[in-house]
Amino acid sequence: MWKNVGYYNGEMGPLEEMKVSMGDRALYFGDGIYEATCVANRIPFAIDDHLDRMYNSLRLLEIPFKMEREQVKAELQKVIDAAEDNPVHFLYWQITRGNSMRNHVFPQGVEPSLMIFVKPHTMKSMDVPYKLISLEDNRFKLCNIKTLNLIPSVLANQRAAEAGCDEAVLHRGSRVTECAHSNISILKDGVLRTAPTDELILPGITRKHLLALAREHGIPVVEEPFSMVELMNADEAIVTSSSALCMRVESIDRIPVGGKDPRRIKLLQDAYLEKFRRETTSVG
Ligand code: PLP
């Protein structure tokens, strides 16, 4: 058992001692995809949704990863089971086009690489709202693929941290797309509105569950883009991600936002937490 567990192409050990190959295309091109979710009671939350998105990202990047879903689950579970006890863990895995001499063109006859890590995680309290900054979205247009090319998001989150904020909300012109590593939705006049899943946003798993829970609780859902002005005037703004679940927004660029529909946002947060707890509790 280790506190932080690392895995690379079948080898496992303490994360701090693991090494990756110098030929791994992630190092030169970010040529790969990744997934992440929280784990409680050694059960990864919404694993099938994450594996669906993983296979879709691999297909879109034409990475010939042959491992079957059940085998991927088994490898992830090995790493989870090697971690020291903690109420919640963070599970991350990435698949790259494999190891070869640097060359932009796809290498032939090379096996993709699988890297996994698990570390202890503390979930943020949903009672402490997020502060955001806003930035122009300068990412390329393959945002629907969960690729390792994350420089614009890294820079955006650094700007947010420097401003004492939790996340950066991104917009292309007036249209809000998503946050640097989360999706964003608004509540206005009792309706939950969120950007559609086109190539400008990542189809977030938390976003998907939030929409389903809203519908279950009689909150109408509209998948249409909204503007920065609409975001600033929303009754509530909600930031969603696998690591933090559903966070209420209290300010953007230091201007107070939301706080006008506390009942619906609490209902959604409670429903989400309840779903997380139920699906990460072993039965029998
Ligand atoms: N959007 C971006 C750009 C992200 O990187 C992430 C998560 O990493 C999300 C949205 C949220 O997705 P999920 O809810 O599947 O974690």
Nearest protein CA to atom 10 of ligand 1, as residue: 182
**Is 146 designated active site?**
yes
pLDDT for residue 5 is more than 80 = yes
Query: Is this prediction's pTM over 0.95?
Result: yes
Which residues make Cβ contacts (< 8 Å) with residue 279, sequence separation at least 6?
43, 45, 46
Report DSSP state, residue 180.
S
Is the CB of 182 inside a 6 Å radius of any atom of ligand 1?
A: yes
Count Cβ atoms within 10 A of the Cβ of residue 151 and give its class: 0-12 exposed, 13-18 middle, 19 or more buried.
Answer: exposed
* pLDDT tops 70 at residue 131: yes
Query: How many CB atoms within 10 Å of residue 15?
Result: 18
Report pLDDT digits (tens) over 204-228. Answer: 999 999 999 999 999 999 999 999 9
Backbone phi, then psi, for 49, in 5-degree steps?
-60, -40
Q: What are phi and psi of 2, to 5 degrees?
A: -130, 160
Q: What is the mean pLDDT of the chain?
A: 97
Task: Choose one of 181, 199, 208 to mutate for the ligand 1 pocket test, by most ligand atoms within 8 angstroms of C-beta.
Answer: 181
Q: Is 139 in the pocket of ligand 1 (CB under 6 A)?
A: no
Q: How confident is the model at residue 283 (pLDDT cuts 50, 70, 90)?
A: low
- Which of these, 229, 101, 202, 59, lies nearest to 144 by C-alpha position? 202
Q: Which of 178, 170, 169 is nearest to 197 (CA)?
A: 178
**What percent of the chain is predicted at pLDDT more than 90?**
98
Max CA distance (Å), the chain? 57
Best of 56, 166, 182 for a ligand 1 pocket test (most atoms within 8 Å of beta carbon):
182
**Cβ(157) – ligand 1 distance below 6 Å:** no
CA distance 95 to 114: 5
Q: In what order do the strands lie in the sheet with 88-96?
A: 11-14, 5-8, 113-120, 88-96, 32-40, 43-44
At residue 237, φ and ψ (nearest 5 deg) are -120, 140
Per-residue confidence (pLDDT) for residue 124, from 0 to 100 = 92
- The C-alpha angle with vertex 247 and arms to 156 and 126, in degrees rounded to 5, equals 130
The band of 284, judged by pLDDT with boundaries at 50, 70 and 90, is: very low
Residue 57 Cβ inside 6 Å of ligand 1? The answer reads no
pLDDT at 116 over 60: yes
Please name each of the domains of the chain with its CATH number. Answer: 5-120 (3.30.470.10), 130-279 (3.20.10.10)
Please give the residue that has the higher pLDDT: either 282 or 67. 67
- Options 146, 188, 208, 275, the catalytic residue: 146
For the record, the structure tokens of 247 come out as 């966070």
